Amino acid sequence: MDNVSSTPYVAEPFQVDFNGKLFMSVLGNNLLNTAGFHANDRGFGIATLNQSKYTWVLSRFVIEMNEMPSQYEHYSIETWIEKVFRFFTNRNFAIKGDGGKVYGYAKSIWAMISLDTRKPEDLLVLHGGSIVNYVVPEKECPIDPPGRVKVTDAEPVFTYRSCYSDIDVNGHVNSVKYMEHMINLLPFQLFKEHFIKRFEIAYVAESYIGDVLHFFLHKNSELEYLIDVRKEAENGTFETVCRGFIQLI
């Protein structure tokens, strides 16, 4: 089995925005789906891991696009593992179109945790360390890796109680739903003439159904935004759930 998989998609009518361009959140879901299929086919997917009481946790995710697929356009997502460390693995993606066209790239960092202890497990020991057989260090993914997303001087701009449609099969707010809610904070007029060039997100803690999420926004410039999502604890304190950086061109 090839260490790089390629999964075909088409930008369906309900997956595109008012410009007829694929929603970043739909792309995000399809990137994660493709990762899931790639891992399952190679014996280290969520389904197999859950039987062994482990699961993957997404820690960092960055997507950088030259262009978004338009309605009805076909695109494929390639994914492969770039590196494996003891407690983290780097998974990369390329989003390609017909005739060698490159829509963009993505990079992600994952940890494997024990479902019992919620602590990271040693990837080089699990399953006999077989994950290292799938590493493709040489394949190109020419975007900057996830940086440090630091949000200061941000203003609270939106409060939201997470609900049924936000929650995935693990009982958490779906990783990509945070992206969708963050994008909704931007002035929508921006999307008439610009698109998201780079979206970076750092996951810090999990949130659950009914959690009250506060969105704090810092505007670097007309086309650059930082967002901190904090959940309200029962004692009135706030805990950061994730942080995002959105750059449009």
User: What does the binding site for a copy of itself look like in residue numbers (CB under 8 A)?
Assistant: 12-14, 16-20, 23, 25, 29, 32-33, 36, 46-47, 71-72, 163-165, 167-171, 174, 176, 180, 183-184, 186, 188, 191, 209-210
What is the rounded CA–CA span in Å between residue 85 and residue 139? 18
Q: Is the dihedral of CA 136, 138, 142, 148 positive or negative?
A: positive
The total of other beta-carbon atoms located within 10 Å of residue 137's CB is 10
Least spacing, CB of residue 71 vs a copy of itself, in Å: 6
- CB closer to a copy of itself out of 37 and 238: 37
Contact 88, 122 (CB under 8 A): no
Query: Which C-beta is closer to a copy of itself: that of 137 or that of 210?
Result: 210
For the record, the structure tokens of 152 come out as: 């200061």
User: Judged by CB, which is closer to a copy of itself: 26, or 62?
Assistant: 26
Given the complex with a copy of itself, which of 129 and 187 has the nearer CB atom?
187
Least Cβ distance, residue 42 to a copy of itself (angstroms): 16
Minimum distance of a copy of itself from residue 232's CB (angstroms): 18
- Measure the CA–CA gap between 243 and 216, rounded to whole angstroms: 9
- Reference 81, options 8, 43, 132, 128; nearest CA is 132
Residue 40 Cβ, how far from a copy of itself at the closest point, in Å?
9
Half-sphere exposure of 89 (CA within 13 A, CB side): 30
